[in-house]
Amino acid sequence: MNAISDIAPPQVDLELRGIAKSFGDFVALERVDLAIERGEFVAIMGPSGCGKTTLLRIVAGLESMSSGQLLLRGQDISALPVHKRSTRLVWQNFALFPHLNVRQNIAFGLTLRRHDKAKVKAKVDEIADLVQLGQFLDRRIGQLSGGQKQRVAIARALVTEPEILLLDEPLSALDAHLRIRMQSEMKRLQQRLGISFLYVTHNQSEAFSMADRVVVMNRGRIEQYGPPEEIYTQPKTHFVAEFVGSNNIFDGKVVDVEGGLIKVQCADAVISAAAGERPPGKGSTVSLVVQADKIGSKPAGTVAENSLNAVLSGREFTGSQVIYHLETAAGVEVKMVAQEPFSQTERTAINMAMQLYWSPGDTVVLRPGIVPGVENIPGGRSYVALGA
């Protein structure tokens, strides 16, 4: 077994230092800092207009930045034109040349660079095999399926051996079924190549299923960066809690801190949460986040640590899960996800009263704070996790 000192520290592939971008008066990116380690699959997600594509285009060299610095494997590439960067961008709409066949499309970047013909052929054959296009090399683009076109776009980007591959919603043009199949293909390909992928997507399940780490962006800044499980179970800000997963958020004031728990007076009940190392003091305003799948239901009158009375207002059966929509007396909407429908004896009906419960340990506490980079945005005050 290796001694700790023998383990090489992770090498940073791409480093974004204080990247900012304004279009006239409009601030599209606010001092974005990000480090991507070699061989990492990083997904950027966030609502429409939050700056994902702008960030990717800046890394690709297709958009200038207003300020900041961009390092690729330690080299400052901030001023390098697009064709001199060893980054490649795969587009949402593939952007293939319809008048060229698959081989010519894949070879395009190499022929532009006037490489030796035999070398170009060998390289195209190698990449085509890698993305399983070997048998389609003579076909026209119009004769390919959506998934095959998508692979041509990736092969065309890979043929020039980029140090990092940038992908802007590359699966969005595919139907849902193919999209899921391509997700695992994409992940396998990235692992075989061992190069970093920086992948922009709207789609949470896509980001979570493929990425080693996920960047959640909001209004031109990064709200959280971490492994998918951490983003899902430990949202650091109010925005991430609302945007990711299926969370319930209860706002309230701390009324007691005792025995490792904080007690928070919320609209309908006093809710307990694990206090953590630096609990907020009495009187502090906090938001409590509880994942919908951490909430259960008990017969009325059952004593539980955290319980809340609510009335069932809707039910969605999704096959493996049922999502229950409920409302408390104070009008707070609550979501509960159950892995299987209740049994016949527990059958639910709209408007029935239910008692919900969950563990204080499953309650994430957010307190008002300033997310770095938000100070200049009107209303930029946010809620951040304890200890964040």
* Binding status of residue 50 toward ligand ATP by CB under 6 A: yes
The site that binds ligand ATP (CB under 6 A) totals a number of residues, namely 12
Interface with ligand ATP by CB under 6 A: which range of 45-53, 77-85, 121-129, 280-288?
A: 45-53
Nearer to ligand ATP among residue 25 and residue 277 (C-beta):
25
Interface with ligand ATP by CB under 6 A: which range of 49-57, 126-134, 226-234, 343-351?
A: 49-57
* Binding status of residue 171 toward ligand ATP by CB under 6 A: no
Using alpha carbons only, give the angle 293, 294, 299 rounded to the nearest 5 degrees.
Answer: 100
* Binding status of residue 260 toward ligand ATP by CB under 6 A: no
Beta carbon of residue 173, minimum distance to ligand ATP (angstroms, whole number): 14
Q: In what order do the strands lie in the sheet with 164-168?
A: 87-90, 164-168, 196-201, 41-45, 213-218, 221-226
User: Among residues 49, 227, 314, 372, which is the contact residue for ligand ATP, using CB under 6 A?
Assistant: 49
| Structural tokens at position 240 | 């991430």
Beta carbon of residue 374, minimum distance to ligand ATP (angstroms, whole number): 16
Interface with ligand ATP by CB under 6 A: which range of 48-56, 222-230, 246-254, 316-324?
A: 48-56
* Binding status of residue 53 toward ligand ATP by CB under 6 A: yes
Beta carbon of residue 340, minimum distance to ligand ATP (angstroms, whole number): 35
User: Among residues 2, 48, 343, 344, which is the contact residue for ligand ATP, using CB under 6 A?
Assistant: 48
Radius of gyration of the chain (CA): 25
Residues near 344 by beta carbon (within 8 Å), at least 6 away in sequence: none
DSSP, res 257 = E
Where in 15-44 is the site for ligand ATP (CB under 6 A)? 23, 26, 28
Please state, in angstroms and rounded to a whole number, the distance separating the CA atoms of residues 274 and 253.
15
* Binding status of residue 198 toward ligand ATP by CB under 6 A: no
Query: In angstroms, what CA-CA distances link 5 with 1, 2, 8, 10, 12?
Result: 11, 8, 8, 13, 18
β-bridge pairing 41-45 and 213-218: parallel
CB 211 within 8 A of CB 228: yes
Please state, in angstroms and rounded to a whole number, the distance separating the CA atoms of residues 133 and 161.
18
* Binding status of residue 93 toward ligand ATP by CB under 6 A: no
Please state, in angstroms and rounded to a whole number, the distance separating the CA atoms of residues 356 and 57.
46
* Binding status of residue 361 toward ligand ATP by CB under 6 A: no
Please state, in angstroms and rounded to a whole number, the distance separating the CA atoms of residues 177 and 189.
19
* Binding status of residue 218 toward ligand ATP by CB under 6 A: no
Q: Would you give the binding string for ligand ATP spanning residues 261-300, x where CB under 6 A is met?
A: ----------------------------------------
65, with CB counted inside 10 A (0-12, 13-18, 19+), is buried
Beta carbon of residue 240, minimum distance to ligand ATP (angstroms, whole number): 16
Please state, in angstroms and rounded to a whole number, the distance separating the CA atoms of residues 169 and 171.
6
Please state, in angstroms and rounded to a whole number, the distance separating the CA atoms of residues 158 and 193.
9
CB 157 within 8 A of CB 90: yes
* Binding status of residue 64 toward ligand ATP by CB under 6 A: no
User: Among residues 36, 40, 54, 136, which is the contact residue for ligand ATP, using CB under 6 A?
Assistant: 54
Nearer to ligand ATP among residue 48 and residue 339 (C-beta):
48
* Binding status of residue 52 toward ligand ATP by CB under 6 A: yes
Nearer to ligand ATP among residue 132 and residue 203 (C-beta):
203
Beta carbon of residue 372, minimum distance to ligand ATP (angstroms, whole number): 19
47, amino acid identity: P
* Binding status of residue 207 toward ligand ATP by CB under 6 A: no
List residues binding ligand ATP (CB under 6 A): 23, 26, 28, 46, 48-54, 202
